[in-house]
Amino acid sequence: MKVRVAAFTISVDGFGAGRDQSQAEPLGVNGEKLHEWLVQTETFRKLTGGRGEVIAPDDDDRFASRSFDNLGAWIMGRNMFGPVRGPWPDDRWKGWWGDTPPYHVPVFVLTHHPRPPQPMAGGTVFHFVTGGIEEALRLAKAAANGKDIRIGGGVQTVRQYLQAGLIDEMHLAISPRLLGQGESLLQGIDLNALGFRCMEQVGTPRALHVVFGRR
């Protein structure tokens, strides 16, 4: 079992999301442009029900596909689940992904506000965790049945798990885009001090894929 970040895209100047995230722009201003390497892969086309043109290089698709291998559970921050802030007004918001989210395993959403579990089509169940990152990880490990746990984002969630020393492996896709401002993934974080080393790097026209592992 590994706790890993996979297919997490940052700009070449280090931002994992643009400024001013909203329901209209969930990844912030220009944030969606970071993911051009992903949305044109066969893997993404299958996840979205066959929509979109597949023109991405094989290496991009290989990393996209690998990001879903051997997963038993996900953990994500509340912002990645949706734009609702503060106490949940009701249970109507069920995520960005429609009735059949692409997870198909239990997903543990970090929040300060309780909410009942939300079963979805395709095997995804959203569980809302109010006890912090370590409680979410404990619950995810119990649900994963020995498989890997993916820390899905957003930026602040990944940073918290990195700073706590709880991530075993991290695949970053570095997009050749400049955002200028937004949410920086690694500012103030010393990956060397955390025991990471670069294990793999592959470049394509749309991304530099770098995989870090713990020594």
Query: What's the pLDDT tens digit per position in 137-158?
Result: 999 999 999 999 999 989 999 9
In this predicted structure, what is the pLDDT of residue 18? 75
**CA dihedral of 7, 116, 160, 135, whole degrees rounded to 10:** -110
Residue 89's region, left for phi above 0, alpha for psi from -120 to 50, else beta, is alpha
Q: Which tokens in the block code for residue 8? A: 């997490």
Q: In angstroms, rounded to a whole number, what is the distance separating the alpha carbons of residues 120 and 105? A: 10
- What is the model's pLDDT at position 44? 87
Q: Tell me if 18 sits within 8 A of 181, measured CB to CB.
A: yes
Q: What percent of the chain has pLDDT over 90?
A: 75
Tens-place pLDDT, residues 2-49: 999 999 999 999 999 876 665 666 666 566 888 999 988 989 888 877
pLDDT of residue 52: 58
pLDDT at 30: 62
The 10s digit of each residue's pLDDT in 51-83 is 656 665 699 999 999 999 999 999 999 989 988
> Hey, how many other C-beta atoms are within 10 angstroms of the C-beta on 178?
11
- For the record, the structure tokens of 139 come out as 């619950």
Residue 164 pLDDT grade (very low, low, confident, very high; cuts 50, 70, 90): very high
Q: What is the pLDDT of residue 112?
A: 96
pLDDT at residue 96, as a whole number = 87
Task: Estimate the crossing angle of helix 133-144 against helix 155-163, to 10 degrees.
Answer: 90
What pLDDT does residue 31 have? 66
Query: Span 191-207, mean pLDDT?
Result: 96
- Give the pLDDT confidence score for residue 28 in this predicted structure: 62
pTM, entire model: 0.92
| pLDDT one-digit tens code per residue, 75-109 | 999 989 988 889 999 999 999 888 999 999 999 99
The amino acid occupying position 4 is R
Please measure the distance between the N-terminal and C-terminal CA atoms of the chain and give it in whole angstroms: 16
Instruction: Tokens 């649900």: give the residue.
Output: 143
Query: What type of residue sits at position 89?
Result: P
How far apart are alpha carbons 90 and 21 in whole angstroms? 22
pLDDT confidence of residue 22: 59
Which domains does the chain possess? Answer: 3-85+95-207 (3.40.430.10)
